[in-house]
Structure 1
Amino acid sequence: QGLKLIEEMNALGKKIFNGVRFKPDQQKKQISHGNFPKWMTDGHPLADLKNKKAEVANLDELQEILNTFHHEYRNYTISRAVEAFRAPAQVFGEYLKLEKRFLKELNSFEIGKMAPVIHRLLEASGAPVAFCRLGEQYQHYLIDEFQDTSRSQWNAMAPLVANSLSKGGSLFFVGDTKQAIYGWRGGDYQLFREVPEQKEIRLPVGDNFKQETLGTNFRSAKEIVGFNNALFCESSMKLLENGLNLSGLTEIYAHATQKTTPNAPDGMVTVQLFQATDKDSRTAEIEGWSKEIIKDTATRFGPGSILILARSREKVRTIAGWLVDMGIPFVTEDSLKLFGNLAVKSLLALLSAMVLPEPDTYLWGLIETGFFGRLNDSNATELLQKHGDETNRKIPALHFLKENAPEFYKNWLKPLEKLRTDHSGYELATRLVSFLELENTPDRNLIDRFLEEILSLEENGITDTVDIVNHLYEKMDEISLSMPETKDVVRVMTIHKAKGLESPVVLIPFLDWKLVNSQGIIIGEAEPGSGKYLQINKEIAELDPELGKIYRDAKDREIVESINLMYVALTRAGRELYIGTPEATSRTKKTGISGVFQQMMDAAGLTFDKSGLFCSGNPGEIAGAAEQTGEKAVQPPFRQASSLLSFADTRDEPFEFEARLRGTLLHKALSFILHIEDDNWNNLDEISKTALNRAAASLGMAMDKTHEAPDIAAISRILLALKPWFSPDLRAWNEKEFVGAKGEMVRVDRLVEKSGRFILIDYKTGRADTRYRRQIKRYTKILDPLGKPIDGILAYLDTGEVNHVQA
């Protein structure tokens, strides 16, 4: 039909088209490759011809051919899109089958799919039956963050809510449509408007429906509230609706204006318009301005009062780089992921190299990252390049490194062989930390968290080291740390993560993201119920009204969420708000948040000076913040991965707490001493001091100088008393773990094998107690499956007394 159209148009002659580019031969060739000329597909085919209808007798026939072509072209284009999407759709279908099978085998259920299942259950059985199955009847429902509720979630809940309302129950839901930023996860803010009008909800409620708007801001200073009131006013929203061809903004922001409390503090809002035109200059301008703000506010408020927000993780990493340059302590989302830390990743890689069947991949990864600082960049690069040669590629890593880096191999790889055997995963990991001397590094707390995770796995029955390593790889994205609430560090995070948070100072250096993600994919069904899916692009959206609606709704939702995301960012600050944004262009006024923001500034009458600066209010200071200098004493955590000792809350018993803490420190120090060479027995005090310092570092403590000398003496005294059991000729284990036949786990301070017997040594502080003998006997009973006689020794650190306990 495309070819027929060209023949008909050609017969009419070129002049009749009044400027339309019409090249029959070229366009026939296009069509043969599946590409149709624009005049056939753009929806304005014969406008020029219709103006000359009197001169063209067969124009109606031509229009009819073109109309038919449009219908067929729509089918043709959609069919091609369905075919192009067939492969990923099939792969996804196979994935769903596998997922269903695995979940069935594991007797598990994906909680994200729970809502539609509940909905189907309620539709089939009715709410009262479901209540019986639940075992309890709920009469009152409170739903928070309702703007992020999905339709499937609400549909699952609605029959239960309706049932409770019909029996005198209640529904209370609260949220903010301006903070609806999870549409990509199914959240639908329109439920706010729809739910009160749903028949099953409205009928039992009748006139007893109340709606309240929380119009007072308890968080922010007057200047910040005033700035946001002006920015998100009704006239601004109408301007954006018209400019972006978008509906619903005025409804979403209908209650954006807020009041302040009578005692609201004074504050400040600063907006900097970055005017550099080339990318490098603008990057430097943003960095320089941001660093000045950070330096100034850290001085006045302290680092812990600063929250820096960005749209993407990439920008978060950029900001983190600035803070590293400035030497300012900070925490990011990635740093809260345990395995986002290089030292922890490297420890896991080293464990993998020692226990998994193919170690070379892990070893070369460690070489590439400098092997815990033991290789400089040039040496590591040289080794990698040399091994990359075809002649060397097949040589196992250990053999290659032994030949080509003998000193490195001797110091850091060969000793690992001795650590490989007869150790649990936790023991092996702690020995690696000790061997690599990682206790005094800045990553100490993260390494402790890593050890704690391994210990937790062992306590929960995963005791094989290979299983532990594989589990850590599977779960590494889920293992995270708590966000420090009290530490004096700058927080850097994405705006999504900051929702619900607040901070005295908020800095947004990059208010410049796109309104619509160009990489986003919109999926639709070619015909309802057909089971044929396709990716909807702009061309398909113009050809098919139904698919066009899906496309436009998705794009509109993205734009609304981008504006909402800006609102969330601009409302986190308590005292001072700093915003950095590039100067808008005609393009970004339609496509970027920076353009939208500046249009809103114009509509609100908020103007920049010649340097691109807008400022309202004056800088302030939190009392005492400027004096927050000097080192802070680090309090030891109440549960360390490196110790099974659990502390009760002993704040009213300071002496008991100190005694326990000292006992933990001495135990930890002795765990670092495996053997003592014959010629080192004259240096016991030095050995003891080194072990104590390492123990203090691993526990996050600073050594107390007043107790250092007595503690060194205690360790030296007990080592001398136990001299026969510290010979390098004996096999020995410190803090060795055992799991009994009934699943009980114990850890002995020291176990030595000598003359066909095991000697179990348990260190104690304080006075002798008969309970300790019973403890030793319980340990020896658990260790009975070792198959050799076991003797026990109680070693009292404070007196140097050694008591033998026969099993």
Structure 2
Amino acid sequence: LTWERAIDSIKSDLLREDLKNITANTLLQKVVDRESHFARAPIPSQARSTLEKVISSIVSILEYELKKRAEAYYSVLDGFYRFFTVIKDEKEALTYSDINRLLLPYKGLREMEYLLSKCGIRISHLLLDEFQDTSLEQWEVLEETALSCIRDKGKSFFCVGDPKQSLYGWRGSTSKLIENISLMDGIKTTNASTTYRCGKEIVKALNGVFGSLSLNGSMKNYRYAAEAWQKRYVSHTTHNKEPSFVVLKRCPDGIEPNRDLPAVLDVMSRDLHHIIKSNPYLSVGILVRRNKAIPDIMKALTSLNLRASEEGGNPLTDSVAVELILAFLRAVEYPEDRISLYHVSNSPLCDILGISNKGESASLKDAFDSVVSRRGLKGTICFLARKLYPYFGRFERKRLQQFIEMTLAFPFSECRLKPFITFVEAERVDSPSLRGIRVMTIHQAKGLEFDCVFLPELDQPLIRYSAYRVMAVRDDPLMPPSYITAFPTKDICRICPDLREKREKFENEIVEQELSALYVAMSRARFGLYMYTTNKRGITFASVLKGGFEKLSQQENSKDNTELLYVSGNPKWWQKISKKGPDGRKTISLRKPVVEKDMPPKRGWKIISPYLEEGGVESTVGFQLDLRNESSLVRGDALHACFEAVEWIDEHFPSFGEIEERLNSAGDRAINADIIEEFLEILSRPKVKYMLSKSFYLNKGLTPIELYREKKFGVILKSGVPVQGVFDRVVILEDSSGERHIEVLDFKSDNLYGRESLDQRIRYYTPQMELYKEAASLFFGINCENVEGILLFLGTKKVEPEAVYVSNRGFREAFR
């Protein structure tokens, strides 16, 4: 009876041409797998022969469909490549892959040495960092040069990489490359399995998950990937003795009704809010697999007033000031838009434009047309942004500046505002200020570290089949693909063992890289690692974690309606960690606080200035830098940018246009013309004019040799404290005996109110100038006794400029 049903099903499917159903037929599967029995009875040889012919015909049909799909993909990609090549040629542009292709003819040692000699370069020592991400094409270019550095005396080869962090297989990289190099003759390898970043509990979690992958039940379909990972994984240890914490929470499915958010994000954002409320100075990384998940995360954070930096940028509409200008443009473009009209009517724009009838769209249109007739469309939008500048803080001013740059770059082909509004709403711009909470993909987080990491997107399938249209299989991981086709469906793989084997190999390569992504995500955390899942089934990051944590802990319930699948460590870790960074070092910045790339700005961050009294005087960065009101900072930053345009004023006095160009190139387009006029007025004053001329130095018997303006520097002081900052103006001088001297000129835009005010500011800035002088001595390699520091107070229209030489012994006026 079972035989009859199986045969009838095959006949019926053949008549209906239902190939998907027929490939799932159990009898056909037995024949394909060369099994001898079906339904506990032997398969007759005649029946097997007939069924093999049926299978051969089905495979031919499915292979033909696969071939047509592959040809269609190739046609689309070929058309795109040709079109893209034309665009590149028109713009005379190259991609990184073009550079590899152009260098391939020079991959031989002689050819590469010839090419490098044309550039004046000779390679004796080769350092390759992040080598696990090197593509096979890149290695083909470098291989002969690298081998030369390995075997030749007087040369060296140094390679740094972690095969566990190989994420870029889609562009040709493979972890096997670094493993292969480690086996070469003449290569000494060191396995760095001790981390200085991750806390004890995080290392315990990593070892639990990745140290026993081959025994993980969720990996039973991907044994090759699990065994390959297990082979290269060495149990980790750590030098980080700070308290740490790891948790995997199972959250309810569905949407949180009160916040209209997935329950996972609701739980995660509340956990984060609790931690940040207790310790606002922590650095936080929220890592996801897809950019698609980021908007919902940003929404969840914003609902709890948690400001975050979205890597890759946010639209400018996250700015109140920019949204106000867009509302004005919408009200002009669409007079019936009452919401935008109300928004503008209750804003400073009406006062700026002198609109008396605030509730009438016609008044807005008339005011807009009036400004456009004088300034043009771009000029009008930039004018509105500049006028709003004084009403907002630093974040909003930065956004306005970016908005102006976007406006100037936008190709207005007509007077319609809709295309511009749509463009601004959609275009992503990097966040203007670094925040403690950063949301990004796992790939973007590579190389970074955070005090705590949140992983809310663990329920996505380990293999996202929708992302793969083409399958490329390599017989040797270090060789080009030997087989490329459209990604085969499960239907054809069921009855085509050869294709099934290729697909399994391809899937294992994908899983191997996905496991690397999970490792990267977990190992970004210093102290806290928070992971979230739901009840979704399937092979996911969450299932891998659950399988790894099974033997480490038991499940328990928490207070927020979630189930703790794994929890280990001190849940109040943020109260126990020390306030210093992992290296325990303090850093001084002379103009802005030096903040690590992945750390939040800390307004009260303590620094040590060792120059005031023995043992140092402790102060906050806010005091050291004299953080005044926003308008003062805007004026000061603009004036510094203007001074960068001045070389020797007795040789050339800059024009209004030159100063304006300098401001634009410095990114200060939001500064209005009043600043430039003020600067030119300051520049015309005799004292300032004299200080910026060669005559000032020649009259003292010193000859200017070199001049630096807005010169960045970084040194380690004799006390061992690292310092970085910017010199406003540095002049290298030479006396009659040929000895070198330095004068460091620092511009100050403080408002002075008489002699007492001047004396107070001089005393205030003296420690900073002493730091500048020592830094200049070390940076330029000139005796500290030959370094002088000058504070040039620019004054105002009512107060004359003042210039003084400053030292710990006191000060003297520069004009006496």
The interval holding the TM-score normalised by the smaller chain is: 0.5 to 0.7
Choose between structure 1 and 2: higher helix proportion: 1
Q: Which amino acid aligns with 1:216?
A: T
Which of 509, 513, 518 is the aligned partner of 2:456? 509
**2:540 matched residue in structure 1:** 592
Higher strand proportion: 2
Shift of 1:105: 2.9
Aligned residues: 610
In structure 2, the CA distance between the partners of 1:483 and 1:155, relative to structure 1 (3 Å rule), is farther
Residues 800 and 95 of structure 1: is their aligned pair in 2 closer, same or farther, counting only changes over 3 Å? same
Q: Does 1:109 align with 2:109?
A: no
Aligned to 1:315: 293
Cα offset for 1:599?
0.9
Note the 1:464-483 alignment, pairs <5 A: 480-481=430-431
Match of 1:300 in 2: 278
SS in 1 for 2:198: coil
Displacement of 1:431 after TM fit?
A: 0.7
Query: TM-score scaled to structure 1, two decimals?
Result: 0.62
Report the equivalent of 2:686.
769
Is this contact kept in 2: 1:149–1:189, CA < 8 A?
Answer: no
Structure 2: 5+ residue stretches without partners: 347-356, 475-479, 581-589, 594-608, 612-624, 638-655, 693-794, 801-816
CA contact (8 A) 1:39 1:45 kept: no
The alpha-carbon distance between structure 1 residues 216 and 477, as it changes in their structure 2 partners (threshold 3 A), is farther
Contact 2:136 2:172 survives alignment (8 Å) = yes
Please list the CA deviations of residues 468-495 of structure 1 after superposition, one character each: whole Å capped at 9, or x if unmatched: x99x9699968534662xx5x3223222
Superposition pairs of residues 67-86 of structure 1, within 5 angstroms: 67-86=52-71
Q: Which residue of 1 aligns with 2:310?
A: 332
Native 8 Å contact 1:309 1:508 kept in 2:
yes
2:512 aligns to what SS in structure 1?
Answer: helix
For 2:27 and 2:430, the matched residues in 1 are separated by 53
Aligned to 1:181: 167
Counterpart position of 1:270: 247
Contact 1:215 1:258 in 2 (8 A): yes
TM-score with structure 2 setting the length: 0.61
Equivalent-residue separation in structure 1 for 2:197 and 2:482 (angstroms): 52
For residue 597 of structure 1, report the CA deviation from its aligned partner.
Answer: 0.9
Q: Distance in 1 between matches of 2:495 and 2:431?
A: 50
Shift of 1:192: 1.9
Q: 1:215 to 1:416 in 2, by over 3 A?
A: same
User: Aligned in 2, Cα 1:231/1:140: closer, same or farther, shift over 3 Å?
Assistant: same
For residues 362 and 520 of structure 1, the distance between their equivalents in structure 2, rounded to whole angstroms, comes to 43
Residue of 317, 335, 344 corresponding to 1:374: 344
Looking at structure 1, the residues matched to 364 and 489 of structure 2 have their Cα atoms a distance apart, in angstroms, of 56
SS state at 1:105 partner = helix
Matches within 5 A, 1:585-734: 587-588=537-538, 591-602=539-550, 604-611=551-558, 612-613=563-564, 614-618=566-570, 619-620=572-573, 621=575, 695=631
- Residues 213, 219 of structure 2: 8 Å contact kept: no
Deviations 1:348-378 (A, max 9, x none): 9799x8xxxxxx99946995994793389xx
Aligned with 1:73: secondary structure?
helix
SS in 1 for 2:274: helix
Aligned to 2:437: 490
2:465 aligned partner: 518
> Does the C-alpha gap of structure 1 residues 267 and 548 become closer, same or farther in structure 2, counting only changes over 3 Å?
same
The one-letter code matched in structure 2 to 1:239 is: N
The alpha carbon displacement at 1:184 in A equals 2.8
The residue aligned with 2:524 is 572
Identity, in percent, stands at 16
CA contact (8 A) 2:494 2:500 kept: yes
Are the aligned partners of 1:148 and 1:188 in contact in 2 as well (CA < 8 Å)? yes
Instruction: For 1:455 and 1:25, locate their aligned partners in 2 and report how far apart those are by CA, in whole Å.
Output: 67
In structure 1, C-alpha distance between the alignment counterparts of 2:424 and 2:236, rounded to whole Å: 47
Greater shift, 26-35 or 163-172, is seen at: 26-35
- Against the structure 1 CA distance between its residues 98 and 39, is the aligned structure 2 distance closer, same or farther, given a 3 Å change threshold? same
CA distance in 2, matches of 1:738, 1:285: 52
Report the equivalent of 1:779: none
Task: Give 1:312 deviation, angstroms.
Answer: 2.9
Give the CA deviation at 1:601: 0.5
Shift of 1:158: 0.9
The answer for the alignment partner of 1:554 in structure 2 is 506
Distance 1:127 1:361 in 2: 62
Structure 2 counterparts to residues 271-290 of structure 1, below 5 A: 271-274=248-251, 276=252, 285-290=263-268
Cα distance in structure 1, aligned partners of 2:194 and 2:151: 34
Rate the CA distance shift 1:16–1:605 in 2: closer, same or farther, 3 A: closer
SS in 2 for 1:266: coil
Distance 1:496-1:365 versus aligned 2 partners, 3 A rule: farther
**Equivalent residue for 2:797?**
798
Residue 362 of structure 2 aligns with which residue? 410
Query: For the aligned residues, what is the CA RMSD?
Result: 5.6
Shift in Å at residue 608 of structure 1? 1.8
**Residues 216 and 260 of structure 1 are in contact (CA less than 8 Å); yes or no, is this contact kept in structure 2?**
yes
Aligned to 2:157: 171
Mapped pair 1:216 → 2:207: no
Q: Is the 1:303–1:328 contact (alpha carbons within 8 Å) kept by the matching residues of 2?
A: no
The alpha-carbon distance between structure 1 residues 413 and 188, as it changes in their structure 2 partners (threshold 3 A), is: farther
The residue that corresponds to 1:7 in the other structure is: none
CA distance in 1, matches of 2:255, 2:576: 37
Structure 1 residue aligned with 2:147, among 162, 184, 192? 162
Residue of structure 2 in register with 1:499 after alignment: 446
CA distance in 2, matches of 1:416, 1:637: 39
Paired residue for 2:477? Answer: none
1:387-445 CA distance string (max 9 Å, x none): xxxxxxxxxxxxxxxxxx99442343322222324548875443121466784278513
Deviation at 1:279, TM superposition (A): 5.6
| Cα distance in 2 between the residues matched to 1:548 and 1:594 | 26
Separation (CA, whole Å) in 2 of partners of 1:464 and 1:23: 64
Equivalent residues of 1:522, 1:551 under 8 A apart? no
Cα deviation for residue 516 of structure 1 reads: 0.9
Tell me the alpha carbon deviations over residues 201-222 of structure 1, each in whole angstroms, 9 at most, x when there is no partner: x3xxx3x321111122211222
Secondary structure of the structure 2 residue equivalent to 1:190: helix
Cα deviation for residue 600 of structure 1 reads 0.7
